[in-house]
Amino acid sequence: MNYNGFFAAALSQLKDEGNYRVFADLERHCGSFPNATNRGNDTGDVTIWCSNDYLGMGQHPDVLAAMHDALDKVGAGAGGTRNISGTTHDHVLLEAELADLHGKEAALLFTSGYVSNWAALGTLAAKIPDCLVLSDALNHASMIEGIRHSKADRQIWRHNDLAHLEELLAAQPLDRPKLIAFESVYSMDGDIAPIAAICDLADKYNAMTYLDEVHAVGLYGPRGGGIAEREGLMDRLTVIEGTLGKAFGVMGGYIAASANLCDFIRSFASGFIFTTALPPAVAAGATASIRHLKSSRAERAAQKAKVTELRARLDAIGIPHLDNPSHIIPVMVGDPVKCKYLSDILMRDYGIYIQPINYPTVPKGTERLRITPSPVHSDADIEHLVGALETLWAQCQLARLPVAAQ
């Protein structure tokens, strides 16, 4: 086989479809996020409009100070797996902070949110005898991979469709172990799951619940505990999973659950046991970020205001975006080549960075620009973005919505 030819052909097909991914080589400016320098070409300074560092916590002085302190005090890496000399006091403190955030007995850290889903779901589903996993159709790749890896029986329920979920649950013996896996805020459409109703079904049919709150932790609830906190449901969920890499601005993933469940995953999950622990400075930074967002609501309020403002500005010029109850603004393009082109021109001519979201991240025909306003975007940033989109929508002859009479 001509191996190199095979790779080149596969890549060339991706390019033809407009689905080839190009990374933006950026250098962020500490202290002035969302600004960055584009090192990949000569476009100079850009404003980032698609970061999952939703609140700018990756630049927060408390977070940076905690990381500097830890680095100076204990050095760079953890030096091993948690089991073999990689557990530091910073890891222990972070797990306590996370358990408290979600009102659970315990929490367990992983090197990323991806790994936490893969390892926790994979281990639960594999080890619980005859476990059936009921997985929402739009679950994240990390959940899907974990469930697949477990080799447990799985059934996919139509996205957020309670009737379908109940139909599948009701078809099973009541005493069969079942695990319902879903997310709170779905990251591409920005819609939110009916968590309370799902918990009701779980109670009725004797199922466990596993909730991915990756796009909600730090952002919702009085202390940033997520949608389940906001809705007073944290105690009804068996497992809450989150990331430290998005709104908390650092890196890492976790589950929060009962002490026994966390101890079980700690003891049986290969993806927890056999990998080097997060650097202590990373853990310390995450702890500082969580602590800050537990007591400060200013970032959440300011983010909400920016999201509302941008939505209203897009509506005023008829730029189509998915209506949803979250902080995510998906501007719909519906064509991979145009989506990539828009993104390229925004970067090249306007210094605006919005990554195109194409298949397989979203279904074909729903290609979009996913915009995530943050408290640190200025009014001038919004003005500039809206002006650019207005010009490009005309230039590319993209569909607009009728604008309501003012």
Ligand X SMILES: *Cc1c(COP(=O)(O)O)cnc(C)c1O
Touching ligand X, residues 134-153 (CB under 6 A) = 140, 142
Q: Is 340 in the site for ligand X (CB under 6 A)?
A: no
Q: Is 253 in the site for ligand X (CB under 6 A)?
A: yes
Q: Is 113 in the site for ligand X (CB under 6 A)?
A: yes
Task: Give whichever of 140 and 370 is closer to ligand X, judged by the CB atom.
Answer: 140
Identify whether the C-beta of residue 343 lies closer than 8 Å to the C-beta of residue 50.
Answer: no
Q: Which residue has its beta carbon closest to ligand X?
A: 113
Show the CA angle centred on residue 60, arms to residues 55 and 66, nearest 5°: 130
Task: Give whichever of 210 and 264 is closer to ligand X, judged by the CB atom.
Answer: 210
Give me the least distance between CB of 248 and ligand X, in Å please: 10
Task: Give whichever of 228 and 392 is closer to ligand X, judged by the CB atom.
Answer: 228
- Running DSSP on this structure, what letter comes out for residue 396? T
Give me the least distance between CB of 115 and ligand X, in Å please: 7
Set 104, 178, 246, 306: catalytic member:
246
Give me the least distance between CB of 194 and ligand X, in Å please: 17
Specify the DSSP element, H or E, that contains 10. helix 3-17
Identify whether the C-beta of residue 228 lies closer than 8 Å to the C-beta of residue 88.
Answer: no
Give me the least distance between CB of 171 and ligand X, in Å please: 27
DSSP for 233-288? Answer: -GGG-SEEEEESSSTT-S--EEEEE-HHHHHHHHHH-HHHHTSBPPPHHHHHHHHH
Which amino acid, 45? D
Q: Is 335 in the site for ligand X (CB under 6 A)?
A: no
Q: Is 249 in the site for ligand X (CB under 6 A)?
A: no
Show the CA angle centred on residue 222, arms to residues 382 and 140, nearest 5°: 70
Mask for 202-241, x = binds ligand X (CB under 6 A): ----------x-xx--------------------------
Question: Which three-class secondary structure string do you get for 120-184?
Answer: HHHHHHHHCCCCEEEEECCCCHHHHHHHHHHCCEEEEECCCCHHHHHHHHHCCCCCCCEEEEEEC
How many residues bind ligand X (CB under 6 A)? The answer is 14
Mask for 23-62, x = binds ligand X (CB under 6 A): ----------------------------------------
| Phi, psi of 176, deg, nearest 5 | -75, 135
364 included as an active-site residue: no
Query: Radius of gyration (Cα) for the chain, nearest Å?
Result: 22
Query: Which residue in the set 19, 243, 343, 374 belongs to the binding site for ligand X (CB under 6 A)?
Result: 243
Identify whether the C-beta of residue 325 lies closer than 8 Å to the C-beta of residue 219.
Answer: no
The helix/strand/coil state of 226 is coil
Query: Which residue in the set 19, 88, 117, 150 belongs to the binding site for ligand X (CB under 6 A)?
Result: 117
- Residues near ligand X, by CB under 6 A: 112-114, 117, 140, 142, 183, 187, 212, 214-215, 243, 245, 253
What residues are annotated to the active site?
Answer: 246
